[in-house]
Amino acid sequence: MFRRREFIRGITAAGAGLTASGSGQAGEVSSVTFEVQGFTCVTCAIGLEVVLREQQGVKRAKASYKERKVVVSYDATCTSPQVIQAFINKTTGFTAVEKTN
């Protein structure tokens, strides 16, 4: 499991200028919001954005340290909220819970 410090060092070294890679034809774009536990600083939120944008099907990720959440826009033909949540929970050291209205 990732340790938060290693996670932060990794994304800092990689730089915050990474963007989502294009994947040919786009499908239906949907959006999901997760409450995130484990943010200790703004860099945590930025790092989560960076690693999410690298995931297949993720078009946009906007995390807020202050609000303890991340909003993810994704191609519904490539991924799902469950896959995104599992990725966050298993690989980043944060805990994400889908936020319902």
Per-block mean pLDDT, blocks of 10 residues, the chain (101 long): 59 46 63 96 95 96 97 96 96 93 66
Per-residue confidence (pLDDT) for residue 13, from 0 to 100: 54
Structural domain span for residue 72 = 4-8+27-98
Q: Is residue 92 part of a domain?
A: yes
Per-residue confidence (pLDDT) for residue 1, from 0 to 100: 46
Q: Which helix (H) or strand (E) holds 71?
A: strand 69-75
User: Is residue 73 classed as helix, strand or coil in its secondary structure?
Assistant: strand
| Sheet of strand 69-75: strand arrangement | 58-64, 69-75, 29-37, 95-98
Q: Is residue 15 part of a domain?
A: no
Taking Cα atoms as reference points, which of 48, 28, 34 lies closest to residue 81?
A: 34
Instruction: Indicate which CATH number applies to the domain containing 35.
Output: 3.30.70.100
Written as six digits, the tokens of 28 are 């239906």
